[in-house]
Amino acid sequence: MERPLTQYIHPGCPPFDLREYEMTGGYAALRKVIGSMSPQEVQKLVQESGLKGRGGAGFNTGMKWSFVPMGENAPQPKYLIANADEMEPGTFKDRLLLEGNPHQLIEGMILAAYAIQADISYIFLRWAYKKAAQLLRKSIHEAYTAGYLGKNILGSGFSLEMHLHTGVGRYMCGEETALLNALEGKRATPRAKPPFPQVSGLYGKPTIVNNVETLCNLPHIVNNGAEWFKGLGNGKDSGTKLYGVSGKVNKPGCWELPIGVTVRELIEEHAGGMKNGYRFKGVLPGGASTDFLTTEHLDVKMDFVSVAAAGSRLGTGTMVVMDDATCPVGFVHNLQHFFAQESCGFCTPCREGLPWVEKMLLSLERGHGTAEDVEMLQMHTQLLGPGNTFCALAPGAMEPLQSALKYFREDFEKHVELHKCPYG
């Protein structure tokens, strides 16, 4: 089966320059679109392909584009933004694409910009991705020189500016409206919705924000068609997916596989199973802000529908595996420490609640916790849940905690009973 995203990306090999990318069919999709397709036809093609956002939300990409005002009377300029602020703990899939084939992202961005008739595009990049920043600057310059960016692209009359913007290192910038505020030079706090960015985004103009992996699928969908993309899936969703596995497995890494591969196959076949002396206890299937799955879920398909039915979220598709020698309380405390630090402080439940949750978990770890603390933690999973905070940061932080209390409650209670961590 053809691998549309990583077919020509190999660890240790230098990334493609423009000439090498063109030799493997690079920018053929752009030439096809410019020469024979209207923006509305591109939107329809992507919508029919079933491509869902690969950044975690899983919303149909073409449908998202369809909310952008089109036509002569639409507000101008319009903006297209690639969200490359990959700061979710356990997530590293976009880095593979950025460092292995930056022109693939650039072509995908041009196609998306054409579909919504955007004039200006930005790559919002995580500050720590120094190599990716260097490669993207070089590749953007190559694309401008070749006429793929700038004024009158390939003589079509369509023009697009592209800029690289490096973030300052805040997890909150991954939330699309906080990202927009950061691009405008403001504090990275989320915005109230509505209005949605598709109508009023960057500088109050129509804006689309898509994840790197989402955008990298576009050249292949244009070249091969919607039915081809749908046929790549192995479950209820379309295409392939970049899956990652970290933790005490034999071969941690990242692989492109048909979307819908099972948890078991990812861990036992691609990641080589658990290391000697360790047994599988649980896994966060889609990064740090997803609910635990356990041994009863090993045969769950890793697609958006199936993982949701199992009580979690596919998220970014990057698993964090927890073994039987790792304390679930300490594991979750480490995550809550991160989320508490990264709260933007805009709303009271998140600003005050997350540090309080972290404090209670630390008290349990040190042997000072009480049974009331465990009940208080359970209550906070509701108080900081969906609908009680301004954005999804705190509800996301509660997902690993609420599921740890569901599946590993005995471990929390042993901390109270023994007045210490039972894992040593």
Where does CATH 3.40.50.11540 sit in the chain?
18-231
Where does CATH 3.10.20.600 sit in the chain?
233-323
| pLDDT at site 58 | 87
Question: How many C-beta neighbours within 10 Å does residue 210 have?
Answer: 25
CATH class of the domain whose range is 233-323: alpha beta
pTM (whole model) above 0.85: yes
| pLDDT at site 347 | 93
| pLDDT at site 11 | 61
Q: Considering the domain 18-231 in this protein, what is its CATH number?
A: 3.40.50.11540
| pLDDT at site 313 | 96
For the segment 108-119, the average pLDDT, to the nearest whole number, is 98
Question: For residues 419 and 363, what is the distance between their CA atoms, to the nearest angstrom?
Answer: 10
Question: For residues 81 and 121, what is the distance between their CA atoms, to the nearest angstrom?
Answer: 5
Residue 112 pLDDT greater than 50, yes or no? yes
- Tokens encoding 276: 């000697």
Q: Considering the domain 328-418 in this protein, what is its CATH number?
A: 1.20.1440.230
Percent of the chain clearing pLDDT 70 (strictly above): 97
- Tokens encoding 47: 């919508």
**pLDDT digits over 185-206, tens only?**
999 999 999 999 999 999 999 9
**Quick one: pLDDT band at residue 7, thresholds 50, 70, 90?**
low
Give the β-pairing of 79-84 and 207-211. parallel
Residue 329 pLDDT greater than 50, yes or no? yes
Q: In this predicted model, which residue has the larger pLDDT, 35 or 375?
A: 375
**Quick one: pLDDT band at residue 379, thresholds 50, 70, 90?**
very high
Question: For residues 148 and 52, what is the distance between their CA atoms, to the nearest angstrom?
Answer: 26
pLDDT, the chain, mean:
94
Ranges 165-169, 239-243, 337-341: which has the least confidence: 165-169
For the segment 219-239, the average pLDDT, to the nearest whole number, is 94
Question: For residues 99 and 35, what is the distance between their CA atoms, to the nearest angstrom?
Answer: 30
Residue 217 pLDDT greater than 90, yes or no? yes
For the segment 81-109, the average pLDDT, to the nearest whole number, is 95
Contact 230, 238 (CB under 8 A): yes
Residue 12 pLDDT greater than 70, yes or no? no
| pLDDT at site 1 | 40
Backbone angles phi, psi at 160, to 5 degrees: -150, 125
What is Dmax (Cα atoms) for the chain?
74
| pLDDT at site 8 | 60
Where does CATH 1.20.1440.230 sit in the chain?
328-418
